[in-house]
């Protein structure tokens, strides 16, 4: 199946502090978005990479140092919510791309081996995401008190890429829009449709850069990777 990845980089990243939008913050001399695109291009199973950025960031994007890879499409403008940005990326993809991966640029160190596994499971089963087992006990909290403690062995933390047959994802997105349903990830839209989503064991290094501490952790990981 011809496979495309939507690279989501239109968020403002307010929890990171600072004035620069998150995707354009540098780690060890290279922006988060450049690093994310490098990581995704290292997987040769993607036939198209479709960046989604804020409409305010086109000048910043033009300044990036990106390899001349013909698979990399020009960026499109995202929307107010993450789900709107996915819809904008999807609208820019020609119909020939039948398998759709969706990735947070803020997970800029995703590994090609993990991408290959989740893409292959999604191709076979229709929908799959990378996730890691929760190390801590998860509490569902309501009004400041514990409402329920799900069994830890069944708790996983969702990552991206999340990968879907395009028709299934388009149907899930249309239903979410019709129902006014907002998911915090893409698998949730497919779950809302009632279709099964496979879980593929990922890598804790593929965390989402959210806070200033995450930037430091990512920098440390990059330095260790380069030293090997």
Residue 8 interacting with ligand C5P (CB under 6 A): yes
CB of 5 to ligand C5P, least distance (A): 13
Rounding to the nearest 10 degrees, give the CA dihedral for residues 204, 205, 206, 209.
110
Q: Choose among 47, 53, 90, 54: nearest CA to 71.
A: 47
Q: Look up residue 149 and give its two tokens.
A: 């403690």
81 binds ligand C5P (CB under 6 A): yes
Task: Kindly state whether residue 127 participates in binding ligand C5P, applying the rule CB under 6 A.
Answer: no
- Contact map string, positions 139 to 168, toward ligand C5P, x by CB under 6 A: ------------------------------
Nearest residue to ligand C5P, by Cβ distance, number only:
11
Q: Candidates 31, 39, 85, 206: give the one binding ligand C5P (CB under 6 A).
A: 85
Q: How big is the site for ligand C5P, counted in residues (CB under 6 A)?
A: 17
Selected from 16, 27, 106, 168, the binder of ligand C5P by CB under 6 A is: 106
Q: Does 105 bind ligand C5P (CB under 6 A)?
A: yes
Query: CA-CA distance, 170 to 100, in Å (whole number)?
Result: 10
108 binds ligand C5P, rule: CB under 6 A: no
Angle between helices 166-179 and 82-91 (to 10 degrees): 140
Residue 187 lies near ligand C5P (rule: CB under 6 A): no
Widest distance between CA atoms in the chain: 53
82 binds ligand C5P (CB under 6 A): yes
Q: Which residue lies nearer to ligand C5P by CB, 1 or 64?
A: 64
Closest to ligand C5P by CB, 36 vs 119, is: 36
String of DSSP letters for 160-202: EEEEEEHHHHHHHHHHHHHHT---SSSHHHHHHHT---EEEE-
Q: Does residue number 215 form part of the binding site for ligand C5P (CB under 6 A)? A: no
C-alpha–C-alpha distance, residues 199 and 201, integer Å: 7
Q: Which stretch binds ligand C5P (CB under 6 A): 42-50, 79-87, 144-152, 199-207?
A: 79-87
Nearer to ligand C5P, 126 or 161 (CB): 161
For residue 206, give every residue at least 6 positions away whose Cβ sits within 8 Å of its Cβ, in sequence order, or none: 107, 109, 110, 111, 114, 130, 132, 159
Cα–Cα distance for residue pair 223/78, rounded to 1 Å: 32
Q: Which residues make up the interface to ligand C5P (CB under 6 A)?
A: 8-11, 23, 52, 78-82, 85, 104-106, 208, 210
């Amino acid at each position: 199946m011809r496979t495309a990845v939507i690279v989501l980089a239109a968020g403002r990243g307010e929890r990171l502090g600072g004035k620069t939008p998150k995707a354009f913050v540098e780690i060890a001399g290279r922006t988060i978005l450049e690093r994310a695109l490098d990581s995704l291009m290292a997987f040769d199973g993607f036939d198209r990479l479709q960046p989604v950025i804020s409409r305010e960031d086109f000048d910043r994007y033009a300044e990036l140092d990106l390899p001349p890879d013909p698979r990399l499409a020009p960026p499109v403008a995202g929307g107010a919510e993450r789900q709107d940005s996915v819809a904008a990326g999807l609208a820019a993809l020609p119909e020939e791309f039948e398998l759709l991966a969706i990735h947070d640029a803020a997970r800029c160190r995703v590994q090609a081996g993990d991408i290959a596994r989740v893409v292959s499971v999604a191709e076979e089963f229709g929908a799959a995401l990378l996730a890691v087992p929760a190390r801590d006990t998860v509490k569902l909290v309501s009004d400041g008190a514990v409402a329920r403690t799900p069994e830890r062995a069944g708790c996983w933390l969702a990552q991206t890429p999340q990968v879907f047959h395009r028709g299934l994802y388009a149907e899930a997105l249309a239903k979410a829009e019709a129902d006014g349903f907002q998911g915090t990830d893409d698998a949730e839209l497919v779950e809302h449709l009632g279709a099964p989503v496979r879980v593929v064991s990922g890598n804790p290094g593929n965390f989402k850069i959210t806070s200033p501490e995450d930037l430091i952790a990512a920098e440390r990981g990059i330095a260790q990777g380069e030293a090997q």
